[in-house]
Amino acid sequence: MATVTPRTLSGFMELLPRDQLKFERMLSLLRETYSSYGFTPLDTPVIEAAEVLLAKGGGETEKQVYRFTKGDTDLALRFDLTVPLAKYVAAHYAELAFPFRRYQIGKVYRGERAQRGRFREFYQADIDIIGDGKLDVLNEAEIPAIIYDTFTRLGVKRFQIRVNNRKLLNGFYAMNGMSEKAGEIMRTVDKLDKIGPENVRQSLINDVKMLPCKAENVMDFMAVKGTNDEVIAALERYRGMDATFDEGLAELKTVVKYLADFGVPEENFAVDLTIARGLDYYTGTVYETLMLDHPEIGSVCSGGRYDNLAEYYTDRALPGVGISIGLTRFFYILSEQGLLSGEGGDAPCDALILPMTEDLSPAVAAAAELRKAGLRVQLYTEKKKFKAKMSYADRLGVPYAVFLGEDELAEGVLSVKDMRTGEQQKLSPAEAAALIRADAARRAAAALIKE
């Protein structure tokens, strides 16, 4: 009767249960973190009118968009969460209170050429803060705090939030009379990590056609490194030469000033003047986040300040600041590199009850009682041999198996077996609940990502 081979399209992630449970834990940690900063959840359609979604038009993205007609409607699947946010804020402007802070975790679609680690359907986790006409720089200072909390909660310790300000870059290029070449320069400087400073310098001279002394200026500027105080001191030397630069410097100082109040340790933060994050969109602070022991992953959380969220939909100025995590790729890489811990619990339940009696009423009641105590409890329902039941418990990876046979019933106890240690003990239902709950709490506190 089977007529079709069941398969999942390439470029679409579909996880097995134990991995899915880890992914869900990541989602839930993100939701908690974003909520703790007062971001409101948002959900927008996956399908939008093509005309609306592609209002900006052009570019590499448009080619990748899933676009099709249904009846006579031209439709497209969202390819990021920013365009839907712009649409949402412009459409519901009158009903929203500003600053409007939202998080959205959802799937987006890009018909990229399929290759390892590239996905056509993937989750993005975005937060944005949108102002009405104005938005205070304090919001730019808050973002590193949120990034810090996010990765700390996920269990990462060795990470660094790298920050720059586009006004510093634009101001610097202006004071050197290089504004016209700014795009080219930034693209070249972006290769620093890959090709090294000497090759960048040569490329600035030979490809971008800069005078050697100007290329030298760029290299000096990009080489500014050190503690936050040292970097700011170095930048102070340029002050007074360009208004935009001075504005950027003031903003950077504000961001740095509030870091300690927000609870971000200095070791998790660095000013890095080489960061630019694309050419047009960002206008102020920009962010990247690196896992220090895994620089090959690249930035795992990026974003920045922009001036016009929704210029294609409204003439209102809607400045904002936001960051995004490409969750599916992030999870895929963590998984590939063996960085995901199962300790936090990748079992579907805290305890599996294995009835050993003909009448299942006592087992059903015991499961209900443990559930009332706040536990996730599965009742094993099939009439199989003991060995098959234990093998099931093993395959699920449950922390505890709970046996209930005639002996236990007579004594009013449960036999509770820790599946990890093999230790088995007879406990009253209340004792069993307490033991399993304490273990569940330990697992919930365990890091998802191990370093």
* Displacement of CA 88 from its chain's centroid (Å): 22
For 17, phi and psi rounded to 5 degrees? Answer: -50, -45
Identify which of 101, 62, 19 has the alpha carbon closest to the alpha carbon of residue 320.
101
Compare residues 66 and 174 and give the one whose CB is closer to a copy of itself: 66
Size of the site for a copy of itself (CB under 8 A): 102
Compare residues 214 and 376 and give the one whose CB is closer to a copy of itself: 376
Stretch that binds a copy of itself, among 154-162, 243-251, 345-353, 413-421 (CB under 8 A): 345-353
| Window 168 to 187, contacts with a copy of itself (CB under 8 A) | none
387 binds a copy of itself (CB under 8 A): no
CB 139, CB 151: distance < 8 Å: no
Compare residues 24 and 193 and give the one whose CB is closer to a copy of itself: 24
Tokens of residue 270, six digits: 């660095």
When binding is defined by CB under 8 A, the residue of 80, 247, 342, 392 that contacts a copy of itself is: 392
Residue owning tokens 């990470």: 159
3-class state of residue 13 by DSSP: coil
**Which parts of 70-137 fold into alpha helices (H)?**
82-91
Compare residues 14 and 296 and give the one whose CB is closer to a copy of itself: 14
Residue 216: count of CB within 10 angstroms of its CB: 14
> Residue 50: which residues within 8 A CB-CB, separation 6 or more?
65, 67, 74, 75, 76
Compare residues 202 and 314 and give the one whose CB is closer to a copy of itself: 314
When binding is defined by CB under 8 A, the residue of 349, 401, 416, 419 that contacts a copy of itself is: 349
Compare residues 249 and 259 and give the one whose CB is closer to a copy of itself: 259
The secondary structure of residue 397, as a DSSP letter, is T
d(CA 216, CA 205): 9
When binding is defined by CB under 8 A, the residue of 24, 230, 266, 406 that contacts a copy of itself is: 24
Stretch that binds a copy of itself, among 236-244, 289-297, 306-314, 404-412 (CB under 8 A): 306-314
When binding is defined by CB under 8 A, the residue of 170, 274, 378, 415 that contacts a copy of itself is: 378
390 binds a copy of itself (CB under 8 A): no
360 binds a copy of itself (CB under 8 A): yes
| Window 245 to 274, contacts with a copy of itself (CB under 8 A) | 257-258, 261-263
Identify which of 22, 290, 277, 78 has the alpha carbon closest to the alpha carbon of residue 166.
277
Identify which of 249, 349, 335, 258 has the alpha carbon closest to the alpha carbon of residue 294.
335
CB 13, CB 121: distance < 8 Å: yes
What's the closest the beta carbon of residue 413 comes to a copy of itself, in angstroms? Answer: 18
* Displacement of CA 291 from its chain's centroid (Å): 13
Identify which of 147, 195, 171 has the alpha carbon closest to the alpha carbon of residue 37.
147
66 binds a copy of itself (CB under 8 A): yes
| Window 202 to 231, contacts with a copy of itself (CB under 8 A) | none
Question: By rule CB under 8 A, what string of x and - marks binding of each residue 310-339 to a copy of itself?
Answer: xxxxxx------------------------
What's the closest the beta carbon of residue 175 comes to a copy of itself, in angstroms? Answer: 29
Residue owning tokens 């365990």: 446
Stretch that binds a copy of itself, among 139-147, 191-199, 269-277, 411-419 (CB under 8 A): 139-147
Tokens of residue 328, six digits: 């599916």
| Window 88 to 127, contacts with a copy of itself (CB under 8 A) | 88, 90-92, 95-99, 101-102, 107, 109, 111, 120-121
